[in-house]
Amino acid sequence: MNNQYVPLTLLIVAIINAVIHWNAILNNNKMMVRLSKCPFCLIMGLFLFVSLEETPIVFILGYIFSFLGDFFLLFEGNIFLVGMLSFGLAHICNAYAFISVSALAFEWIGIFVFILVFIYWTILKNYTILPEYMRKIVYGYLTIISIGFYGSVCLFNNAQWTLSSRLVVLIGYLFFILSDSILGVSLWVKTNSFIRFLVMFTYYIAQFLLGLGYVLGLNENQSLIPI
């Protein structure tokens, strides 16, 4: 296979993986759900590795931490906290990767979404039976994901990136926040196959758009389709 086709092929493989996982959730195929959940982030990390001349180590680390988060969330019990920590580290990596290629500045939209996220959880927690220490941990995680989103907003200070690449990353992070918001309902309020599907549908879209937008922003050709 010509090397220039590898990035596009990996994106197609990632989409196929996502579709298989979504179908497994809707059909309550627990074995396939477990088998198909984790590869997605590794595929996207590999996509970044082969797409850019200079390896984006920090952003790839974000995908590796997300992979670990996916893995630990396959299990029940307190290991869930390890998964949450892994995703927290992923968001820190994302924020650093975004801010390192842009200027850190005060952004109203970042503050606005930050406030909305905390209002949402403040309302949602009243419908949960979580102990107080877990609620504090969740607030900590929300702070970290909001920092990740704020980093994506700061990309709009980078004039070298196209508007489309910056929008793709921003929309990706909004999907990430939406996914975690639905996950909170699924974990601590009520769940069913459709809610679990929504969690992973929005999550995979988020991870896909983040990687795609990041590559388009740093790729001088601004294209993944060989011509």
Cα–Cα distance measured from residue 62 to residue 144, given in angstroms and rounded to the nearest whole number: 13
pTM score: 0.90
Residue 207 gets the label, from left (phi > 0), alpha (psi -120 to 50) or beta, of alpha
pLDDT digits (tens, 9 = 90+) for 92-135: 999 999 998 887 666 677 777 778 877 877 777 776 767 777 77
- Report pLDDT digits (tens) over 168-186: 999 999 999 999 989 988 8
